[in-house]
Amino acid sequence: MAENFLKWDPNLYGVNIATMDAEHKQLVEYMNQLHTNVENKASKAILQKSLTDLFNYTLKHFKDEEELFKKIPNYSFKNAHVKIHEDLIAKLKTYAATFEKTGTFPPDFFVFLKVWLTAHIAGIDMKYSNALYNKAA
Ligand SMILES: [Fe+2]
Ligand SMILES: [Fe+2]
């Protein structure tokens, strides 16, 4: 079996909030599933299903995260974070539209997913965790 595209590492990506860590892990699984299906040259229908799974789970996760922000009153980066989520969704929609038209993903699509994990989850999401635990955000 091929090595997973993205490897979940709690030491690198964990935000020390069980619900969010579980959701991030699931998100990475959907990213890996899509990558595996592309590698295996799966049918357009299967790829579409993987993309929809990732997209829907992203919407759910961002909504859950933004609900959590309401419980962290000292999280000053809140509005900027919501804006970053909106931008990620917009980018994902652009890739989805390209896929719809061409049946393929541009080469930078998987770079985008990787950056999402390494920069957003490990970087931006860590900010609300720090605010929750009253560390410098
Ligand atoms: Fe997140
Ligand atoms: Fe986030």
Q: pTM to 2 decimals? A: 0.94
| Per-residue pLDDT at 1 exceeds 80 | no
Per-residue pLDDT tens for 88-126?
999 999 999 999 999 999 989 999 999 999 999 999 999
Point out the ligand nearest to the CA of residue 121. 1
Ligand 2 center to 41 CA (angstroms): 31
Confidence label for 133 from pLDDT (cuts 50, 70 and 90)? very high
| Per-residue pLDDT at 134 exceeds 90 | no
Shortest CA distance to 126 belongs to which of 10, 8, 44, 36?
10
Buried residues in 18-35 as b, exposed as e (16+ CB within 10 A): eebbebbeebbbbbbbbb
CA–CA gap between residue 91 and residue 12 (Å, rounded): 24
Higher pLDDT, residue 28 or 135: 28
Task: Assign domain 19-132 one CATH number from 1.20.120.50, 3.90.1750.10, 1.10.3470.10, 1.20.1200.10.
Answer: 1.20.120.50
Write down the pLDDT at residue 2.
Answer: 56
Instruction: List the domain boundaries for the chain.
Output: 19-132
Ligand 2 center to 78 CA (angstroms): 10
| Per-residue pLDDT at 44 exceeds 80 | yes
User: 114 with 32: CB under 8 angstroms?
Assistant: no
CA–CA gap between residue 97 and residue 102 (Å, rounded): 9
CA–CA gap between residue 126 and residue 33 (Å, rounded): 25
Ligand 2 center to 50 CA (angstroms): 21
Q: Which amino acid is present at 80?
A: A
Write down the pLDDT at residue 3.
Answer: 72
Write down the pLDDT at residue 107.
Answer: 87
Q: Is 128 exposed, middle or buried (0-12, 13-18, 19+ CB in 10 A)?
A: buried
Write down the pLDDT at residue 136.
Answer: 57
CA–CA gap between residue 117 and residue 6 (Å, rounded): 9
Confidence label for 30 from pLDDT (cuts 50, 70 and 90)? very high
Point out the ligand nearest to the CA of residue 66. 2
